[in-house]
Structure 1
Amino acid sequence: MTAVTYTSVERARQGRNWFTAGWLAMGRGLTMFFLGLLAVFLAWFALVGMSLALLGFGLFLVPGLIAALRWSANAQRRLTGATGVQISEPYPPLPQGGGGWKGAWRRCEAVLTDSATWRDMLWAQCAVTVTGLLAIIPFGMLVHGLFGMLLPLIWEPVISAWDGTWYMFVPVRSEDAAWIAGGLGLLEIPIGLLIAPYVLRLHARITHSLLAPTAKAEMSLRVEHLSRTRTDLVDSSAAEIRRIERDLHDGAQARLLAMGMKLDAAESLLDENPEAVRTLLAETRDASVRALEELRDLVRGIHPPVLADRGLVDAVRSLAMESRLQVQVTANLPSRPEPAVESAAYFAVCELLVNATKHSGARRVLIDIQYRANALAMTVTDDGNGGADLESGSGLLGIQRRLAAFDGTLGISSPLGGPTTANVQIPCTLTAMP
């Protein structure tokens, strides 16, 4: 009896999912059509601006119009990404600075010599005539189906105004024919909902062929990304070295120097005042303990021993045990990533946990560590107040820069009122277990 009930619930859920997916796909298709219509006008305005560039003032129009066209293309990429077909942005940054005619000329030259601009132009021409008509088919079936369902009520004025009409293959000349058309319309709507996701996937593949970056553009963007991340990595490494130097100078080095001075004083007082020597030796012993603790903290900040000895999962669990919050760690990691990836992932979780403790007002944190699709995937969720933003603090930007060196990404979802969810993805391969 329980199995039958479970199956019924699952079937009802699948029915709702199919129904919801159809409506969502239909709405996205309609949005894509109007977005394509906007892109057509923007593309033609841009062409007019290019023709006016020969007169001079068009130089100031073209970059803005191309930027608007790129905005519409990026909106199309985001909508296409919702269907599961991801399209990367192919645009290099525009030249900065340089006002007046010279700066306008440089920016205009940059957009006109970029192949992505002309691919956007091609997409804009197809966005209504080809892909747009394809995307709007499910919505058209909905409207046509509703018209068919209304025919039994309005067939007389319709055939009077149009001198007869057809609905699909049915000539509507009588009330009986109108009821047949109504039945076909009732059938057409669920068919439109059923095919809407598949039509949108076909639309996404065509759009990908138009808007995806070329191999040359991908290589150029890849080189630029590597140059930027290498610079960030060098800067962060230099900052880390300066931090270590400062901690050694202000902490352990100062304590060791003080210990040497106390030992010299104890040596000079050894024959005259043994009690003072005993006090100095006790103070020196305490200073050595504190210096050792500081050195351990410094080493833990560079590369925690538990991370080197037991791996990422146990190192994160150690963080969870030391945290003031209630931290739950779940993991499914068959073996260990490369040491550099482990270190980047560990410090990312460490920073996210610090943020949750200091700024979010959270009480519970869930940390999930998985390996899927050739990438280390980590999710850190807290029940705090939300409002976290990548641009609002240096900590999150530091995580982003550290991950970028491995082509990793950091995504933050933090609506006001919470919860805050941070998603970390680092492409990597796992090493074989010994």
Structure 2
Amino acid sequence: METFSRARGVGLAAGRGLLLALVSLPGAVLGFTLALVSMALIPVGIGAYTTPPVLRGVRAFADWRRVVAAEWCGVRIPSAYRPVPEGGNAWARTYALLRDPATSRDLRWLQVDMTAGFVTALLPAALVLYALEGLAVAVGLWRPLSAYGGYWYGFVHVTDQASAIGAGALAGVLLLFAYRYTPSLLSAHFRLTKAVLGANQGELAERVRVLTETRRDAVDTSAAELRRIERDLHDGAQARLVAMGMDLGTVEMLMDKDPAQAKQLLARARQSSADALGELRELVRGIHPPVLAERGLGDAVRALALRLPVPAEVTVEPAGRADAPVESAAYFAVSEVLTNAVKHADAQRIWIDLHHDEGRLRITVTDDGKGGAAVGAGSGLAGVERRLATFDGVLAVSSPAGGPTMVTMEIPCALS
């Protein structure tokens, strides 16, 4: 049983190696050629639109190889692709892809895969098939071949039955070698793939650096938010509650002496309590809006749109809920973008689109304002970018002078 299982594994490794060889050579040649042509066309403008889909195709091909490496031989090939902004400016997408170190690594891997990768993938199948060919020669295939002056099998010149038996002996040695090493040869192909395609330590260190920076930004943002809450409580609701307590103390003294004045102070105290309650509600809404907690991101964004001074159209496709921190980040990011559109873009109409696709929450805010928005130090969009980066999200802005402005936000997440 063990021998049968081993033989089955040898045949499976040979078949898989042959499949890889048949796929890797044309796939690598096509992917590398299209990538080179597309990038060469970037200076004339065409490449800005063709390069993103071509490089995404290369990434899909590389990810397929990662999957089969893990499933067939247990070789885990790490991936460290940076997120690519969707929508907006095609030049921004192209620039983001080209500056990603993983892109140059993928292109190097394509060159290796069409040469050494093709050979190492074909080797397991070639070894098994060549050994079987030698056995076929030994049992009679040599006879039709001898009519053409004999046949060279390895270093054995087969012209008669005796030399055919020699070829069979050599084939037996090769078959034993294939029985022992064919699965290892297939693993060697995937280890070569991992050496070229896997993320190196420098890229992983860069990834750690980015995560450290985004975590620090998140901590700084949280600290600033806590200070804002403390300031709002101290200057707003707390001050009103203190004034209300003083008014009630005065009312207590005036109840018998001047009931009319006491009645006026009671009315003022009641108004102060209503104002304090309103400020507390606004404060709670600024921390985590109740509609967001109760009804989700879609309804919370609709509520935002209803409070805008300009008409806004909201389209929501997600059928589930993201994690609460992701929904909160997305909500306040949309709120900041809408505030910018109303205050700075002089927009007359706004369109908001939310949908979830391929594990990413994508939000697009478009306005018909004057344009000119940019992500820079001190701008509200820079704060939005930092907020999204905490969750590995990205921000893309397309805002030519004269408008329109399209702001696209993406956050990797799963929906419940």
Q: Give the corresponding residue for 1:271.
A: 256
Alignment of 1:34-433 (within 5 A): 80-81=51-52, 83-85=54-56, 214-391=199-376, 393-431=378-416
- Pairwise CA distance, 1:268: 1.1
1:277 & 1:29 partners in 2: Cα distance? 81
2:49 & 2:377 partners in 1: Cα distance? 24
Residue 348 and residue 265 in structure 1: after superposition, are their counterparts in 2 closer, same or farther (change >3 A)? same
Residue 31 and residue 405 in structure 1: after superposition, are their counterparts in 2 closer, same or farther (change >3 A)? same
Does the Cα contact within 8 Å between 1:362 and 1:384 map onto a contact in 2? yes
Give the RMSD, CA atoms, in angstroms.
Answer: 3.4
Give the aligned length.
259
Which stretches in structure 2 are left out of the alignment for 5+ residues? Answer: 1-33, 60-79, 83-100, 116-192
State the SS of the aligned residue for 1:270: helix
Q: Give the corresponding residue for 2:190.
A: none
Amino acid at match of 1:240: E
Residue 33 and residue 218 in structure 1: after superposition, are their counterparts in 2 closer, same or farther (change >3 A)? same
Residue 382 and residue 211 in structure 1: after superposition, are their counterparts in 2 closer, same or farther (change >3 A)? farther
State the SS of the aligned residue for 2:401: coil
State the SS of the aligned residue for 1:369: strand
State the SS of the aligned residue for 2:263: helix
Residue 33 and residue 298 in structure 1: after superposition, are their counterparts in 2 closer, same or farther (change >3 A)? closer
- Pairwise CA distance, 1:379: 0.4
Amino acid at match of 1:263: L
Residue 77 and residue 422 in structure 1: after superposition, are their counterparts in 2 closer, same or farther (change >3 A)? closer
1:367 & 1:311 partners in 2: Cα distance? 16
1:358 & 1:284 partners in 2: Cα distance? 36
Amino acid at match of 2:353: D
Does the Cα contact within 8 Å between 1:337 and 1:430 map onto a contact in 2? yes
Alignment of 1:26-41 (within 5 A): 28=38, 30-31=40-41
- Pairwise CA distance, 1:31: 4.3
* Cα displacement string for residues 206-250 of structure 1 (whole angstroms, at most 9, x for unaligned residues): xx9999883323321221111000110010111101111111111
State the SS of the aligned residue for 1:239: helix
Residue 334 and residue 281 in structure 1: after superposition, are their counterparts in 2 closer, same or farther (change >3 A)? same
- Pairwise CA distance, 1:334: 1.4
1:267 & 1:306 partners in 2: Cα distance? 40
Tell me the percent identity.
Answer: 49
1:313 & 1:32 partners in 2: Cα distance? 38
Does the Cα contact within 8 Å between 2:39 and 2:51 map onto a contact in 1? no
State the SS of the aligned residue for 2:282: helix
Does the Cα contact within 8 Å between 1:89 and 1:212 map onto a contact in 2? no
Which stretches in structure 1 are left out of the alignment for 5+ residues? Answer: 1-23, 35-75, 91-115, 131-207
Answer with 1 or 2: which has the greater Rg: 2
2:49 & 2:346 partners in 1: Cα distance? 33
Does the Cα contact within 8 Å between 1:89 and 1:213 map onto a contact in 2? no
Moved more, 386-395 or 317-326: 386-395
Amino acid at match of 2:339: V
- Pairwise CA distance, 1:394: 3.1
Residue 33 and residue 414 in structure 1: after superposition, are their counterparts in 2 closer, same or farther (change >3 A)? closer
